[in-house]
Chains A and B, each alone.
Chain A
Amino acid sequence: EPEVTQTPSHQVTQMGQEVILRCVPISNHLYFYWYRQILGQKVEFLVSFYNNEISEKSEIFDDQFSVERPDGSNFTLKIRSTKLEDSAMYFCASTTTSGDTDTQYFGPGTRLTVL
């Protein structure tokens, strides 16, 4: 069964550094998402992406964040200058279409630790 994959599984960085989290969505999917979960808190929506542009974004997704689909398979989340409070588990998800009934398939997550 096709799966969403994410690399790395764990990223440790210094505050102020840039990080790029990588996702490979399921191959025939067209809509891509990033969510995050700070330890002990809820999973929160960050951004959705379709046709090479952002469809929606939350208040969390400020100018420090950006997303890109640099090629036909990868979907990346960049944090320009990491802060301590960016430490969280970051999940990528994808769906085939934007239909209301579509299931979002999630990757295993990248644990980001900012020191």
Chain B
Amino acid sequence: AQSVSQHNHHVILSEAASLELGCNYSYGGTVNLFWYVQYPGQHLQLLLKYFSGDPLVKGIKGFEAEFIKSKFSFNLRKPSVQWSDTAEYFCAVNANNAGNMLTFGGGTRLMVKP
């Protein structure tokens, strides 16, 4: 069965700092990869997704993620965070032989200090 690990549970940054959130998955086959964000009091929203092609994926609000197949990783990055990026970030994987179910990581709570 696939699993997803997010190693950073809590991250605190100052505005304008660069962000990288780690995501690793365990599954040997083809996967689709997602990052979702949950702002305080709101629902899960898709930031970006990878299913094929260029392993560097650009999403909304200046976020990007890079799929490195050899490392089973899909890390999320943003060069300069803003206070409004304070939220919880979830990595999720859909293995192609697992139907449509998403397997989520444990989430990373990001706090950006103004």
Q: Which of B18-26, B41-49, B61-69, B71-79 contacts A (4 or more CB under 8 A)?
A: B41-49
Are B46 and A103 in touch, CB under 8 angstroms?
yes
Chain B residues at the A interface, C-beta cutoff of 8 Å: 4, 32, 34, 36, 42-46, 49, 51, 90, 92, 94, 96, 99-107
When distances are taken between beta carbons in the complex, the residues of chain A under 8 Å from B96 are 100
Task: Given A45-B102, A56-B100, verify A100-B42 contact (CB < 8 Å).
Answer: no
* B100 adjacent to A98 (CB under 8 Å): yes
B contact residues around A58 at 8 Å (CB): 101
**Chain A residues with a Cβ under 8 A of chain B:** 3-4, 31, 33, 35, 41-45, 48, 55-56, 58, 91, 95, 98, 100-109
Q: Which residues of chain B have C-beta atoms less than 8 A from A35's C-beta?
A: 102, 104
In the bound complex, how far is the Cα of B104 from the Cα of A104, in angstroms? 13
The distance in angstroms between the C-alpha atoms of A44 and B104, with both chains bound, is: 7
Chain A residues with CB below 8 A from B36, complex form:
106
In the assembled complex, the CB of A3 is this many whole angstroms from the nearest CB of chain B, namely 8
Is the beta-carbon distance between A4 and B43 smaller than 8 angstroms?
yes
